[in-house]
Amino acid sequence: MKHTIDAKRLLCPMPVIRLGEMIDSVDTGDTIEMLATDPGVLHDIPAWCKVHGHKVIEINEKTDEIILLVEKIG
């Protein structure tokens, strides 16, 4: 199942906090699409996923937003 977090206009560390909150409530194998505007997510989300054992599937940078797709592992 795919879930979405709208983290646009939120600054670090809020996108990471929102991801942590949602990942606890979804099933293993589910994906979370994060919509963000803070370029810090390009480093912070992959680093957080590496530490917590989840996987960044895709990162798309657009003119006015960044879209990350994260899969919950285990």
Strand intervals (E) in 1-74 = 2-7, 31-36, 55-61, 66-71
**Active-site annotation holder among 10, 12, 14, 22:** 12
Does residue 12 carry a catalytic annotation?
yes
Backbone angles phi, psi at 37, to 5 degrees: -120, -15
Strands 55-61 and 31-36: unpaired
Active-site residue set: 12
